């Protein structure tokens, strides 16, 4: 069997942490838009009505109209160029919010990490216009970052609900692979809740990812994964490649940060310039390979200690989802917000299985 590794779709290294897939049962609802009869440009229509110069179209339902979705969403996806002494490259991003004076762009942390202390960042719109961007804040633990450009009235992407996704749902990935702006690829949701870790030991990120077979390549990082109604459901982040020494590229295994998980972090960064991560209050044994995650130390005063979980217990499930190893456990915890209460099942040192309710603590992400 060939070894497979995961790399961030930009420059960083990564690894699959484990795998648990579940499916929701809700299908995408229909979104109505107006297509301009002269330019074919699309405009969302909350009321479901259009002027005489535009034609009403419906997006969503059981099938995806890729051409229509691409026309609607592509203006909201930007190319990102980073120039820095420690390394330069290109990535992708989405217009998250836009006022009359400025706009916020969301992307991956690993796209802009080289320009944190020095260097420049610029974004390019689909019409070729370029603008300098500054970093509002970033979260390496979730591989997310927010940029700001002093240009208003940009076309903001419509945010969807990633919890409504089911395995098999159609999706589009939009971004700038290899610097090729406004590239659109199609596929399906291949799996949900796929634990993936990316980055290096000193800059590790953990993603409870959407897996897709839509082609994602280096440069797609930070771009949009959208559903059949053109709504943002994920931030494309990583791809899997064979560890044979061949050049990296899409083999139908792409990973995206669910927007429901990303939105909390993004909104915190916009509001305060930084974000927080949930804390179970344990240290795992990374060398433990017998299945589950072995707890070797407790953080004083944190949730696990307060709940009474003893050291040397082996964590088996979190809210009913099995964890294969310590990385999968970290990924699962990171999918919650600080302050959430989770039910964990552990094998006690005596071998007896026991359930505990733990309220997650909070810690700065940087």
Rounded Cα gap, residues 88 and 109, in angstroms = 14
Active site residue 110: yes
The CA-based angle 337-339-343, given to 5 degrees, is 90
Which listed residue (110, 182, 250, 326) is catalytic? 110
Rounded Cα gap, residues 292 and 330, in angstroms = 11
Tally the residues of the chain. 366
- Cβ neighbour number for residue 214 with a 10 Å cutoff: 24
Pairing relation of β-strands 170-175 and 183-200? antiparallel
Q: Are 21 and 191 in contact (CB under 8 A)?
A: yes
Q: Are 341 and 280 in contact (CB under 8 A)?
A: no
Active site residue 248: no
Which listed residue (45, 81, 103, 143) is catalytic? 143
Which listed residue (76, 81, 103, 221) is catalytic? 221
Active site residue 19: no
Kindly give, in sequence order, each residue whose CB lies less than 8 Å from that of residue 52, ignoring residues fewer than 6 positions away: none
Q: Are 208 and 195 in contact (CB under 8 A)?
A: yes
Q: Which residues are catalytic?
A: 110, 143, 221
């Amino acid at each position: 069997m060939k070894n497979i590794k995961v790399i961030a779709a930009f420059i960083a290294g990564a690894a699959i942490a484990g795998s648990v897939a579940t499916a929701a049962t809700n299908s995408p609802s229909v979104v109505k838009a107006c297509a301009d009869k002269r330019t074919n440009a699309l405009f969302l229509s909350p009321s479901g009505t259009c002027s005489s110069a535009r034609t009403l179209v419906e997006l969503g339902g059981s099938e995806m109209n890729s051409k229509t979705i691409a026309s609607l969403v592509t203006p909201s996806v930007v190319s990102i160029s980073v120039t820095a002494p420690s390394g330069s490259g290109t990535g992708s991003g989405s217009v998250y919010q836009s006022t009359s004076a400025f706009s916020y762009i969301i992307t991956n942390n690993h796209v802009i990490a080289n320009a944190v202390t020095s260097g420049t960042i610029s974004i390019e719109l689909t019409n070729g216009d370029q603008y300098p961007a500054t970093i509002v804040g970033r979260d390496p633990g979730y591989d997310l970052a927010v940029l700001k450009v002093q240009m208003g009235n940009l076309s903001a992407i419509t945010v969807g609900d990633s919890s409504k996704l089911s395995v098999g749902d159609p999706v589009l990935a939009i971004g700038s692979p290899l610097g090729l702006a406004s590239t659109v690829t199609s596929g399906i949701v291949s799996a949900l809740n796929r634990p993936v870790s990316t980055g290096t030991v000193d800059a590790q990120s953990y993603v409870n990812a959407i897996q897709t077979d839509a082609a994602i390549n280096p440069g797609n990082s930070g771009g949009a994964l959208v559903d059949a109604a053109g709504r943002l459901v994920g931030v494309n982040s990583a791809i899997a490649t064979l560890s044979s020494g061949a050049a990296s590229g899409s083999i139908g295994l792409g990973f995206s940060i669910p927007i429901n998980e990303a939105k909390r972090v993004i909104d915190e960064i916009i509001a305060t310039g930084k974000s927080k991560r949930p804390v179970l209050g344990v240290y795992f044994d990374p060398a433990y390979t017998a299945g589950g995650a072995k707890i070797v130390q407790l953080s004083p005063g944190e949730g696990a200690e307060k709940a009474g979980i003893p050291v040397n217990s082996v964590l088996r499930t979190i809210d009913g989802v099995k964890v294969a190893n310590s990385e999968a456990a970290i990924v699962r915890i990171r999918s919650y917000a600080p302050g959430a209460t989770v039910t964990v099942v552990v094998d006690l040192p005596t071998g007896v299985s026991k359930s505990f309710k733990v309220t997650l603590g909070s810690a700065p992400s940087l």
